[in-house]
Amino acid sequence: MQTFPLFLNLQNRRALVVGGGDAAARKVELLLSAGAQVSLIAATVGGEIAQLIGEARISWAGRSFDEAELEGASLVIVATEDEALQARVSQAAQRRCLPVNVVDRPALSSFIMPAIVDRAPITIAISSGGTAPALARRIRAEIERSLPAALGRLARFAEIFREQVRRTLVVPRARRRFWDRVFESRIGELALAGDEIGARRELIRLLDGVRHETPQTGMVHLVGAGPGDPDLLTLKAHRLLQRADVVVYDRLVSAEVLAMARRDAERVYVGKRRAHHCVPQDEINDRLVALARAGKSVVRLKGGDPFVFGRGGEEVEALVEAGVAVEVVPGITAALGCAATAGIPLTHRDHAQACIFVTGHLKDGSVDLDWQTLARPRQTVVIYMGVNALSMISGQLVAHGLPFSTPVALIENGTTDRERRVVGTLANIERQANKAGLNGPTLCVVGEVVGLALSRDREIRFESRMGL
C-alpha cells in the first residue's frame, strides 16, 4: 500500500475548507454528509457555496487565511487555485499534525480524498494514491453497479442483533460463521427487501439452532494457488480464502495470492525448498489434522495445482486416515500458466503431439527419469524443480537422442511481475541459467514449441521480459 486507508469520524467536529469555487463546494458537500461542522475561508464565494452559506449550513469568514483558523479544526481541505496559498495552508496544517488535503496536489497533502461508494452505514473508499483519480472514479462506478442500493439496510438490521449474538456465541469464530450464514441465506434477502419482521423471525430461529449445535470437526481444503498471479485463482479458491480460519502455505505461494486471504485468518508457514524442508511433510500432515480437529476451517494453499507435484495426494491420505473431511480445489498448474504467459504452446499440430510433465528431483533428492521416453521427438517436456539438475537433464536428453540444438526455456516466478525468462538450447542452457542467476521457483520447457514461440511475432515481447 502506498497510503494507509482510514475512516475518520467527523460527527460534530470542525472541518476547515479554504476556497470558494466549485471544487470547494464538492468537498463541503462530502464533509456535511459525514456530519462535520464546516468553516469556510474564502475572499469571495458564489454558486452552491453561497447557497450553503445562505442556508446557514456552513460558517464563512470572508477574509484571507490566517493560521489561527486552524485552532480546533480536525481536518483541512484546500480547494483554491492559488499555489502560494496552497503551500502556506499545507505547511501550517502539517506543522500542527492536522490532516490536510490540497485538491489535485498530492505532494502537498497528508491524505488523499478517495472516490466514495456510499451505502450508509456501508462506505467503500477507492484511492489511486493521487496518481489517477479518473481511474478511481471508474472503479467506483463499477462497484456501485454491483451493489444493491439498499445494502445499508442489511447492515442496520445486523446491528440490531449484534450484541445478542455476541452474548450467545462467545467464540469469535462461531460468531463469524453465524453472520456468514445470515448474509448468505434468506435472512439477508428478506432484510434487503425491507421485510424486517420476517428477517428477525428467521434470524432468531437460526441463532437458537446454532446455540444447540454440537461443535463439529473442521475441514481442510487443499486449494491450488496457481503459478503466482492472483487473477488466476479460481472463484472457489478465492471464496474459501475469504472464509478460512487458518491458511497453511509454503514458498511457492506468491505474496499476492496470500494477500487474498481474510485479513484476520491465522497464517501458518510450512515453507520447503530443495534439500531444505522447513517443516517435514509428516509434521505438516499432523498439523492439518490438529487444526481441523480444533474445529477450524483450514485452507492448505499449494502453488499451482495440489495434485501436480504438490504432494497433495500424501496430505489427502493422511487426512482421510485421520477421519478429517477434505476437499481438493484444483488450480492452474505452473506448466499451463507459465507457458501461456511466455507464448509457448505446449502442443502444436506440426511440432508436438504430446506433452509430458516430470519433476526434476525425487523424494530423496535424486534425478531418475525415463530418459528414453523424454527424448522422443515431436513432444514437449515440462520439468518442475529441475533448474539445479540442468547439467544432468541436458546431458541425458542429448545422450538419448535429442539434438543439441533443441530449444529450452526457463521461466522463473512465472505469471508474476517478477517473472524472468532465459532461453537457449540443450547445449548452452546451463550456462545461460548460471549467467542469469535464477533463484526463484523455475519451470523448464524443452521442445521445438519453444523455438516456435520465439520465431513468431511474440519474439520481441518474449525477449524483452528476459532481462538478458
Residues with catalytic annotation?
250, 272
Is residue 435 a contact partner of residue 423, using CB atoms and an 8 Å limit? no
Nearest to 379 by CA among 353, 357, 407: 353
Is residue 306 a contact partner of residue 312, using CB atoms and an 8 Å limit? yes
E strand segments, 218-340: 219-224, 246-249, 266-269, 272-273, 276-277, 297-302, 325-329
Helix 151-168, helix 172-184: angle, nearest 10: 150
Other CB atoms within 10 A of residue 161 CB:
18
Nearest to 114 by CA among 140, 94, 77: 140
Nearest to 451 by CA among 403, 397, 384: 403
**Residue 158 to residue 176: CA distance in whole angstroms:** 12
E strand segments, 185-308: 219-224, 246-249, 266-269, 272-273, 276-277, 297-302
Amino acid in the structure at residue 295: G
Other CB atoms within 10 A of residue 31 CB:
20
Give, as one character, the DSSP assignment of residue 39.
Answer: E
Q: Which three cell numbers stand for residue 5?
A: 486507508
Total residues belonging to the chain: 468
**Residue 448 to residue 430: CA distance in whole angstroms:** 18
Q: Give SS3 for 59.
A: strand
Is residue 278 a contact partner of residue 270, using CB atoms and an 8 Å limit? yes
Residues with Cβ within 8 Å of residue 428, at least 6 apart in sequence: none
